[in-house]
Structure 1
């Protein structure tokens, strides 16, 4: 059982790293780019559950803090945690735990419920934490920071739909369910 857990966490960490290697799309009016890595964060919580998903994200963040360039744009090092994306990175650590617990409590055969949980935590929660961090670190007024991160909602909603699709397909697989 321990080997299975280590393998699952390592594979999810590798997926998070690979998604971080895809360059972000800079917007110009906000110092935070559009990234694909948050899809992996959402999947970590949905697929692995609260403990293993959080552990996979923690491993990524430790590697980033040690200087590995595993964030979009080849960013890494402790400085990224106190930069404009710092709030997002904090939410990345909390997201899998909250999502795993919420899915454990409320998930059923209803895809709409799963989508609501994934969207609220994976889109609203992450972007709210990101806006708060952006406001604190850059000095932008909180309301302006909240309005500026609204640009991420459409793309993040598409990522949430993709996450629900992947989650539902794997959840239906009996072998997958028995391994989590």
Structure 2
């Protein structure tokens, strides 16, 4: 790996951490808050691609796992991964690989196609994995956990649009531009 790639990974990890400084918005009816860090995860996938984006998010999650308070609200440690938000964090790890692999396909030539891939990889997949873990960790019925995630859809859709717009403006060597 080249110094430039390591720097890009570290900078994206820092962006995700900085987005965690914005306080989470608790919802009350489910123990999962609204956060901005998933915007950084989406940007990692569309800007850095599947490999570097996944390394960046993996590094971020590793920091959180070993106790650095990098998650929204200063959360950290293994207890967060075992708690109600653990499934969403696992989903975040998969997001850059899913997004980066699909948006770089040759037939993905239009902004809306790449936005749809970003939305599926970063919103739909993460919400389903998060809902499964939420149901298991809290004893909530799976259907209730899935339905409760509807509240995240509008904001996460807006974040997917922002991530794709950022990707249009940022040029990273070795990554096909949106």
Q: TM-score, normalising length from structure 1?
A: 0.93
Match of 1:87 in 2: 87
Root-mean-square deviation (Å): 1.3
How far the C-alpha of 1:98 sits from its partner, in A, is 1.2
Cα deviation digits, residues 44-93 of structure 1 (max 9, x gap): 01100000000000100111011111111110011110101000000010
Match of 1:163 in 2: 163
Unaligned runs of 5+ in 1: 171-175
Distance 1:43 1:164 in 2: 7
Match of 1:20 in 2: 20
Give every structure 1 segment of 4 or more consecutive aligned residues whose post-TM-superposition deviation is greater than 4 Å: none
Distance 1:135 1:90 in 2: 15
> Which has more helix, going by share of residues?
1
Match of 1:178 in 2: 173
Match of 1:173 in 2: none
Distance 2:130 2:139 in 1: 13
Contact 2:48/2:172 (8 A) holds in 1? no
How far the C-alpha of 1:106 sits from its partner, in A, is 5.2
Contact 1:84/1:133 (8 A) holds in 2? yes
SS of equivalent residue, structure 2 residue 160:
helix
Q: TM-score, normalising length from structure 2?
A: 0.94
Match of 2:58 in 1: 58
SS of equivalent residue, structure 1 residue 178:
coil
Count of aligned positions: 175
Match of 1:113 in 2: 113
Match of 1:49 in 2: 49
Match of 1:143 in 2: 143
Contact 1:99/1:121 (8 A) holds in 2? yes
